[in-house]
């Protein structure tokens, strides 16, 4: 029985070590200006859609969800949320204009970088607004003098 237990333990250890080693990336990234694009979830991949466009669409959705969560939690007012939604909408419209001007459902690397930077700026604005709302909400009201 001890032999079976120790053999099972050894196999589990070797298997776990093998899995850990197989997931380790030992390659060094090449110096490139091309952004690394991970596959978007299947629900966002439509026929003829470019991966960069799908990545940006996911970011639009995520930012809108973060804004709505900020309103729900009380960290953002409706007016703040409206302004932030307008920023997201402006970047989306810019992307649609870029796609239309390219004549195909693709973005150039420069267009992608520009849109991504604008979304980074939006993300920071969402965070900052939510933080301001949270810090303003945490300031206790001064009790009225009797």
Q: How confident is the model at residue 9 (pLDDT cuts 50, 70, 90)?
A: low
| Lowest-confidence segment of 11-25, 69-83, 100-114 by average pLDDT | 11-25
- Asked whether 51 and 37 are in contact (CB, 8 A), the reply is yes
pLDDT at 132: 82
Q: Classify 32 as helix, strand or coil.
A: coil
- What local confidence, expressed as pLDDT, does residue 30 receive? 47
Strands (E), 2-146: none
Looking at residue 119, its pLDDT comes to: 96
The per-residue pLDDT of the chain, averaged, comes to 74
- In this predicted structure, the answer to whether residue 60 has a pLDDT above a threshold of 50 is yes
Give the rounded percent of residues in the chain with a pLDDT score beyond 90: 50
Q: Judge whether residue 57 has pLDDT over 80.
A: yes
pLDDT in the model for residue 51: 87
Q: Say which residues have a Cβ less than 8 Å from residue 85's Cβ, sequence separation at least 6.
A: 64, 67
> What is the model's pTM?
0.59
Q: With 50 as the cut, is the pLDDT of residue 113 above it?
A: yes
Q: How many residues does the chain have?
A: 146
Q: Residue 146 and residue 133: Cα distance in Å, rounded?
A: 30
Neighbours of 90 (CB within 10 A): 12
Instruction: Give every CB contact of residue 71 below 8 A, 6+ residues apart in sequence.
Output: 77, 78, 81
Residue 42 has pLDDT above 50, yes or no: no
Rounded Cα distance between 72 and 16, Å, is: 43
Average pLDDT of the residues in 118-123: 96
Instruction: Report the interhelical angle of 51-73 vs 78-102 (nearest 10°).
Output: 170
């Amino acid at each position: 029985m001890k032999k079976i237990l120790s053999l099972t333990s050894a196999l589990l250890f070797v298997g776990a070590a093998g899995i850990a080693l197989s997931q380790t990336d030992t390659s060094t990234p090449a110096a490139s200006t091309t952004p690394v694009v991970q596959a978007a979830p299947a629900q966002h991949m439509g026929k003829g859609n470019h991966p960069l466009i799908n990545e940006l669409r996911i970011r639009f959705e995520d930012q809108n969800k973060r804004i709505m969560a900020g309103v729900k939690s009380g960290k953002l007012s409706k007016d703040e949320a409206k302004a932030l939604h307008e920023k997201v909408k402006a970047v989306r419209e810019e992307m649609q204009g870029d796609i239309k001007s390219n004549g195909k459902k693709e973005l150039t690397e420069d267009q992608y970088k520009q849109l991504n930077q604008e979304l980074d700026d939006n993300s920071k604005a969402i965070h900052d607004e939510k933080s301001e709302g949270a810090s303003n909400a945490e300031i206790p009201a001064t009790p009225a003098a009797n």
